[in-house]
Amino acid sequence: MRTRLARVAAGAVALTFVVSACSDDGSGDDGSGDGATSSTSTPRRAKPSDTTAPIKDAALAAGSVVVTRTTTSGSDADDTTHEEIEVELTEPPSGRVLHVGEEIWTLDVVDGVGYLKDQTARKSNNRWTRLSAAETTERLEDVTLDGLLGHLDNATKVTKTEKATVAAQAATCHTLALGPDPDADAGDGPPPQSARICVDGDRRPLELVVTAGDEVTTSVFTGWGSAVEAIAPPPNLVGKG
């Protein structure tokens, strides 16, 4: 009897050892295994550029656009700048800009050559000034691809994405938190804090609203891919800058 009990006890001890070894064989309670034969990959967290980069790519692929851009500061209706822009997003650029604000001027750029008509003083003459390459580049800074959509590069977070109707078109709208612009100068005014970009089914912008303090800039985009009719003024109306 004692011998039989001893055999049973020995078998129980052996079984306990086997079960213990199996439970310790690289398999914890978390199911992670020994790490050599199985692993769990962590999904990559989405970056703001995952949203914004395709938008700029779609704009560049379209090649040209018509933009109406309005900037207002606070409740002062007189402190408003309005621009009508037609531009080819090419090199060299071509385009037309009508700028109405503290200054009033019209800019025509044909194959990279700029012609400016300054109407700030409400001049009655129809004279144009041919700009140097450097002057043309400076005037075009705000109407290049980066000038129109560069704020998207400073997005630090996509705070909201929603479906909407913009200019009678189905749109997807993204609200973005913006970080500081590394290329901004101290005299550029308050830094943009947020932006809302609405795009069509091809990810081309329909509307961009950028808020910087009490300053709000609204850009409305139409005519993607349409021909831009930038024509140099007659030579007899052009003077040198």
Please provide the DSSP assignment of 56-99 as one string. HHHHHHH-EEEEEEEEEETT-TTSEEEEEEEEE-SSS-EEEEEE
pLDDT score for 13: 42
Distance CA 116, CA 67 (A): 19
Pull the structure tokens for residue 28. Answer: 């914890």
**pLDDT, tens digit, for every residue of 73-107?**
876 667 899 999 999 998 888 999 999 998 999 99
128-130 vs 238-240, strand pairing mode = parallel
For residues 16-32, give the mean pLDDT: 44
pLDDT of residue 239: 85
pLDDT tens track for 162-196: 999 999 999 999 999 998 866 666 566 667 899 99
Sign of CA dihedral 139, 143, 146, 148: positive
In the chain, what percentage of residues exceed pLDDT 90?
61
Alpha carbons 239 and 224: distance in angstroms, whole number: 33
Residues 133-161: what's their mean pLDDT? 94
The confidence band for 1, taking pLDDT boundaries of 50, 70 and 90, is: very low
Position 187 scores a pLDDT of 60
pLDDT at 2 over 80: no
Per residue in 190-217, pLDDT tens? Answer: 678 999 999 999 999 999 999 998 999 9
d(CA 98, CA 205): 21
Q: Which residues pair with 71 in a beta bridge?
A: 81, 217
Q: How confident is the model at residue 230 (pLDDT cuts 50, 70, 90)?
A: confident
Look at residue 61 and tell me whether its pLDDT is greater than 50.
Answer: yes
The confidence score (pLDDT) of residue 108 equals 95
Q: What is the chain's mean pLDDT, rounded? A: 83
